[in-house]
């Protein structure tokens, strides 16, 4: 899925994005992300009927309420809901009746919430105004719905119109919402939305896989660790001044930035061969560029359309494989930590220069700022930077237009770890899934 800008003044929960509809092509190969955006199109509208709304509580929740502090890296995430959905075609060899599907999902959700108990809680502010998770088994809203449409008729290319708010639930309470939707053709779509402030993609994948394992009466393969102290700052805190260029306190934001951007999401299918061609063109004899960085460089060049402006490109880097504990137990807790361990390094260049650069030069710029963040010291320094700015919240600078010459800003993340093949609740693997 392609998305870009978040921007906002004091109210950091406001997001708005700008997306360009273009055909991606290099000098030798074409990658078509949007094959008919400029043509008139018709997206089939359909009705979704809510059959039932239920609150699912952890079957064995904590006996007393308690507060779970957020780590310094959690505090960098704004209040953003992220959705994920999985599509299952009707199977003839297994029961996919409404009763079977709904009961299986409800029962297994209650069971797995006993292990992932903070997801059944809610975010509240502590005495300093910082968000914390109140683990009170407040519950998760479970929506059972029916859509008068067949799976093959849904235009997944434009999820804003066809998926969001219809097949993927909005969070009305707490930190997690779940929905199962039955379609006319007998297919089902299982989806959920979660509050990004408490979990990154790795954490949610851990929850999703555990949920599916619980539904099949399997032992949970990864036990989450809820120990924010594992990401404690150093004493004394110490960081490189480059973090001042990556993040900024909310009080530093302009009071009234432009608010004319809107969110446009597109889900595109790109052939593996096309990505391999991009990687070949982006690499050199000295440096082998990854597929993700090659694609990122490609998109960056495409955004460089206004020669009088600059463009910024960021890549989300996970710190899990770079942070190491003092012993095997700490390393295991870091690996299974439930929360955010992310950084968003970015590069900036004039569109005039980006247009003139061959793809491999742009890819080298991407590789340069990603490599600087892909090390333990970067994440330790980021934790320390947040500590020295608390209790004021801070945000990634790339999401804001702070200068008149600022053009488009895009943040790229990889969803290759989405556990499509593991999301088996009892009626086979999903036929399609997406964040």
The residue written with tokens 């990401």 in the block is 231
First to last CA, the chain: 8
- Decide if 330 contacts 261 (C-beta within 8 A): no
What secondary structure does DSSP assign to 140-199, as a single string? Answer: EEEEEEEESS-GGG--TT-HHHHTBTTTB----SSSEEEEEEEETTS-EEEEEEEETTT-
Residue 10: per-residue pLDDT:
31
Q: Spelled out in words, what is the top-level CATH class assigned to the domain 24-35+233-412?
A: alpha beta
pLDDT in tens, the chain (435 residues): 444 433 333 333 333 333 333 333 333 444 544 444 444 455 678 999 999 999 999 999 777 899 999 999 999 999 999 999 999 999 988 889 999 999 999 999 999 999 999 999 999 999 999 999 999 999 999 999 999 999 999 999 888 888 988 999 999 999 999 999 999 999 999 999 999 999 999 999 999 999 999 999 999 999 999 999 999 999 999 998 999 999 999 988 877 555 445 667 788 888 999 999 999 999 998 899 999 999 999 999 998 989 999 999 999 999 998 998 777 777 888 889 999 999 999 999 999 999 999 999 999 999 999 999 999 999 999 999 999 999 999 999 998 888 877 888 899 988 877 788 999 999 999 999 998
Tokens of 56: 């699912």
Q: Is the peptide bond before 236 cis (omega within 30 degrees of 0)?
A: yes
Q: What is the pTM of this model?
A: 0.87
Pairing of strands 310-315, 406-412: parallel
Give 140-151 pLDDT, tens digit per residue: 999 999 999 999
Residue 262: per-residue pLDDT:
60
Residue 268: per-residue pLDDT:
84
Pairing of strands 394-396, 188-195: unpaired
Question: Does 48-230+418-434 match 24-35+233-412 at the fold level?
Answer: yes
Residue 21: per-residue pLDDT:
33
Q: What is the CATH number of domain 48-230+418-434?
A: 3.30.559.10
Determine how many CB atoms are found less than 10 A away from the CB of residue 37.
Answer: 16
Side by side, the strands of the sheet bearing 66-69 are 66-69, 131-135, 122-125
Residue 31: per-residue pLDDT:
52
DSSP 165: T
The residue written with tokens 């593996």 in the block is 272
Domain boundaries, the chain: 24-35+233-412, 48-230+418-434
Q: What is the dihedral of CA 72, 320, 215, 65, to 10 degrees?
A: -20
**Could you give the 3-state DSSP secondary structure of residue 92?**
coil
């Amino acid at each position: 899925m392609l998305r870009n800008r978040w921007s906002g003044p004091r109210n950091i929960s406001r997001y708005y994005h700008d997306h360009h509809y273009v055909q991606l092509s290099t000098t030798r190969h074409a990658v078509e992300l949007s094959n008919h955006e400029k043509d008139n199109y018709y997206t089939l509208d359909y009705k979704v009927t809510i059959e039932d709304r239920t609150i699912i509580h952890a079957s064995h929740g904590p006996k007393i309420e308690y507060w779970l502090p957020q780590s310094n890296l959690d505090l960098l995430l704004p209040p953003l809901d992220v959705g994920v959905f999985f599509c299952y075609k009707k199977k003839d060899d297994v029961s996919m009746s409404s009763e079977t599907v709904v009961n299986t999902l409800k029962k297994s959700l209650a069971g797995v919430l006993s292990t992932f108990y903070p997801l059944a809680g809610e975010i509240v502010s502590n005495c300093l105004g910082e968000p914390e998770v109140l683990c009170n088994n407040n519950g998760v809203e479970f929506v059972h719905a029916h859509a008068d449409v067949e799976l093959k008729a849904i235009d997944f290319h434009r999820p804003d119109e066809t998926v969001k708010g219809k097949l993927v639930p909005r969070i009305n309470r707490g930190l997690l919402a779940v929905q199962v939707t039955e379609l006319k053709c007998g297919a089902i779509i299982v989806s959920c939305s979660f509050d990004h402030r408490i979990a990154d993609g790795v954490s949610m994948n851990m929850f999703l896989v555990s949920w599916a394992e619980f539904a099949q009466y399997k032992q949970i393969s990864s036990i989450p660790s809820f120990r924010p102290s594992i990401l404690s700052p150093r004493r004394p805190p110490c960081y490189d001044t480059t973090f001042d260029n990556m993040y900024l306190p909310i009080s530093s934001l302009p009071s009234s930035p432009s608010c004319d951007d809107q969110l446009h999401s597109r889900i595109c299918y790109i052939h593996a061969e096309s990505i391999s061609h991009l990687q070949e063109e982006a690499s050199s004899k000295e440096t082998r560029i990854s597929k993700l960085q090659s694609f990122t460089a490609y998109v960056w060049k495409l955004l460089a359309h206004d020669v009088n402006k600059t463009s910024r490109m960021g890549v989300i880097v996970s710190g899990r494989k770079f942070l190491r504990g003092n012993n095997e137990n700490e390393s295991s807790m870091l690996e299974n930590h439930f929360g955010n361990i992310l950084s968003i390094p970015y590069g900036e260049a004039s569109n005039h220069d980006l247009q003139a650069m061959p793809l491999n030069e742009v890819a080298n710029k991407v590789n340069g700022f990603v490599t600087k963040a892909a090390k333990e010291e970067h994440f330790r320094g980021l934790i320390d930077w947040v500590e020295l700015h608390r209790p004021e919240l801070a945000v990634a600078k790339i999401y804001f237009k702070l200068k008149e010459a600022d053009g488009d800003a895009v943040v790229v993340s990889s969803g290759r770890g989405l556990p499509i093949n593991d999301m088996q609740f009892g009626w086979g693997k999903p036929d399609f899934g997406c964040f």
